[in-house]
Amino acid sequence: MCATSKFSPEYLRGAALVLTILVIISAYALGFQYGKLSLMEPAPSAPVAAAAPAPTQAAPAAPPPPEVPKTARPDVELFIMSYCPFGLQMQKAYVQVEELLTDDANMEVKWVNYIMHGMKEIEDNTREYCIQKEQPDKWIAFEKCFVETTNYADCAAKTGVDTAKVDSCYAAADAEFGITADYDDKASWLSGRYPKYRVNEEDNLAYGVRGSPTLVINGQVVKVSRSAEAVKQAVCNAFTNPPADCETTLNNNQESPGAGPIGAGTAPGAAPSAGCGA
């Protein structure tokens, strides 16, 4: 029997069949691999929108002035210690309102009934008490000077205060209120640390004053920001019919604590709680 030629029709048909099968297998394998790769690719991400800018927060609105009983001529009393840094802070604001409303309201500086800053505080409390009482025409000018420097002799000279009258008044007040006697009686000191200072004792007890500063308007203790404008609004809110001077806008920045220039504060704010004493 003769061998089949490799170029015979049977051979060619077999080769074509094998080739066809190989092509089909190859196409299937390529398609499977492509599909597998397609499944592994991450879906295109959606475009990310730019974040909207955060809304700008408005500055907090100033609190409304405190509600107090209204009178035709309000009584306004600021209780301080002459060397309390927070008392000086409030006094800087207060003196500007005193100057503005001196003809319209009864405005006084009074004294907390104990002291925390040594003999110098006793001396300058009493000197200021005497200037305000006996030389009221010199008081506001002296006060404006004192809160900036706490230098009694220099401020008295600059503002024309009669120091002989102050000395006489000081001696009388010392005898009337037992100032030196209380200082010498250490057994009577509050908590064994703070000498009594009873120049305005009755008012301290009536209003429950406990520390410096304490602001009282028409018999009511109020808390306000230590700025001239905030104090002015609180006082003007106590008039039955506010005078035209209440339309004047004063500095709205809180004064800086301690001695220093009036108006040197840099920011408004709510009523601060820091003070000297309980």
- CA dihedral (25, 31, 32, 36) in degrees, to 10, reads 160
The tens place of each residue's pLDDT in the chain, 278 residues long, gives 434 444 455 554 655 554 555 545 554 444 444 344 333 334 444 444 444 444 444 444 456 677 899 999 999 999 999 999 999 999 999 999 999 999 999 999 999 999 999 999 999 999 999 999 999 999 999 999 999 999 999 999 999 999 999 999 999 999 999 999 999 999 999 999 999 999 999 999 999 999 999 999 999 999 999 999 999 999 999 999 999 999 999 999 999 999 999 999 988 887 777 899 96
Stated pTM of the model: 0.77
Query: Which residues are CB-neighbours of 135 under 8 A, at least 6 positions away?
Result: 161, 162, 165, 166
Q: Which candidate, 243, 278, 276, places its Cα nearest to that of 90? A: 276
List domains and CATH numbers for the chain: 75-268 (3.40.30.10)
